[in-house]
Amino acid sequence: MQLNNLSKAVMPMIEKYSHSCTITTKNGSVITSRVMAEQLWRRDKVRFEAYPTDIGFNQKNYIIGIFTLDVTGFGRDDILTLMGTDYYFIKSSAVVIGDEILYYTAVLREAVKGDKDVFG
């Protein structure tokens, strides 16, 4: 696919303002990429703080990411590591104008590791 002027303007801005990240795929390969990320709790005040449940606190930390890498093939088994925090892919799609892909977006959720000694 040939890039036109719009894509040539968008891609360098994503590269300039993005953070380095790694994606570990379910088959074990590691891909280095860049992502612009924003936490979604800033839009949804309900998820601003953790809330108590019968078995402890539940906190859902979601981010939305903008990538130049095609992330549409990644799923829950693929882990993105950004600034020391692991996330898994919930949903991803391409942003298209006309027949040209400008960039890719993904909604990711923080991967929380369980405590092995749950019942103390």
Domain ranges within the chain, ordered by starting residue: 5-49+57-110
Q: Which residues pair with 57 in a beta bridge?
A: 52
Reduced 3-state DSSP string for 26-66: CCCCEEEEEEEEEEHHHCCHHHCCCEEECCEEECCCEEEEE
Quote helix, strand, coil % in the chain, to nearest 5. 15, 45, 40
* Domain 5-49+57-110 part of CATH 2.40.10: yes
Q: What is the rounded end-to-end Cα distance, in angstroms, of the chain? A: 56
Per the model's pLDDT, the better-predicted residue between 42 and 21 turns out to be 21
Gap between the Cα atoms of 31 and 90, Å rounded = 18
pLDDT, tens digit, 9 for 90 and up, residues 57-104:
556 688 889 998 999 999 999 999 999 989 999 999 999 887 788 899
Beta bridge partners of 30: 24
Q: Rounded mean pLDDT of 3-32? A: 85
